[in-house]
Structure 1
Amino acid sequence: MTTVLLLMDFQNGIAGRPGFEPVVDAAARALDAARGRRVPVIFVRVAFRPGYPEISPDNRAFSRHRDADGDDMALDRPGTQIIDRLAPRDDEHVVVKKRFSAFTGSDLAVLLRGLGADDLVLGGVSTGGVVLSTVRQAADLDYRLTVLSDACGDPDPEVHRVLVGKVFPPQARVTTVDEWVSEG
């Protein structure tokens, strides 16, 4: 079994907002443990070309950002860069996606196949966005899944609670970073 840690949307414009500090702390502990165990780490971020040509006006969720953010979510802008606390090392992969799921518009599936991954451990912001969409797609692709509940966060605590408590368990094992680390 080859395990990969996916840290998703831990970028300045998303996880760098106030209120996500405990989630970032948990993700940092997971990252340290993965690095110590030589578990491959893949960072996922969302970013677009200037002017957001990838976003259809029919996409309600993303067209809202295109219209409101200017080019804040463009590929080279500070808001799309991984937060300093979790800075990827040179030997760690960074995947750029174009929608909520880490798989959509990215080369994540190809990279996971190349690594021989069959077991994914997920953390991300937000639970109702990237984590939910990625869990659903990864489950459909037959990956074994673990969601690190404290390394996930959502602007709406109730959404987070329902997802990790009721929605994810049929498709993924839900645990904390400390429990995952103690399993060695």
Structure 2
Amino acid sequence: MERVAVLVMEMQRGVVGDLTKFPDLVAACTRHDVVPNAARLLGTARSAGIPVIHCTAAFRPDRAGSHTGNCPFIVSLLKDPAHMQEGTPAAEVIPELWDGGDLESRRHHGFSPFTGTSLDMTLRSLGVSAVVALGVSLNLGIPGLTLEAVNLGYRVTVVTDAVAGFPEEYARAVLKHTIGLLATRATAATLVEEWK
């Protein structure tokens, strides 16, 4: 029987929470009820014994372990030396989605939660063969997660009402034309009903 885990991408205080530097992304999450949909899904997953893994990003204060000059977006973000620093509140998962029994996979470089982390080994140690992905963003993180998960042999489902990106027209196009080629798409309500 297929073993599933939920991967929560970058739902952190400094990304979509009270310490964000991305107000347009937060507004998109709010318009689409991303956090309430995600919270409902995660609660059901935990009750069903499905592992929840938060895929988070942070930088060390000295930036060791992070390539900081190879990507225009990262160069722009790191003009603020305190951006998403390890050990600060900005790097924490938003409280609405965190539970003490959840796992966390932290990365210090790039946009995918698999490269340079132990996420693949963690999933395999749990016997996982399929992942359900939610979070942000449809610009970079969710496509990166989905593509790498498929390349590693996982079956992927993306929760359509628990993901967001900006501009929203672009995000919806990515969901339809890129994610649709790689993964199954389902709503939180559909998965909640399936896991009850």
Distance in 2 (CA, whole Å) between partners of 1:88 and 1:36 is 12
Give ranges in structure 1 of 5+ residues lacking alignment: none
Q: Does residue 65 of structure 1 match 2:77? A: yes
1:52 Cα deviation after fit: 2.0
Distance 1:65 1:106 in 2: 22
The answer (yes or no) to whether the contact 1:11–1:81 under 8 Å persists in 2 is yes
Q: Which runs of 5+ in 2 are unaligned?
A: 21-25
| Total equivalences in the alignment | 182
In structure 1, C-alpha distance between the alignment counterparts of 2:135 and 2:74, rounded to whole Å: 18
TM-score w.r.t. the length of structure 1 is: 0.93
Q: Which residue of structure 2 aligns with residue 9 of structure 1?
A: 10
Contact 1:15–1:24 (CA under 8 A) maintained in structure 2: no
Shift of 1:120: 0.2
Q: What's the TM-score, normalizing by structure 2? A: 0.88
Q: Which residue of 1 aligns with 2:38?
A: 27
Which has the higher relative contact order, 1 or 2, with Cα contacts under 8 A spaced 6 or more apart?
2
Find the counterpart in structure 1 of residue 148 from structure 2.
137
What amino acid is the match of 2:75? S
* SS of 2:185 mapped into structure 1: strand
Deviation at 1:181, TM superposition (A): 1.3
Mapped to 2, the partners of 1:15 and 1:33 lie a distance apart of 22
RMSD: 1.4
Between the two proteins, what is the percent identity of the paired residues? 29
- Give 1:177's aligned residue: 188
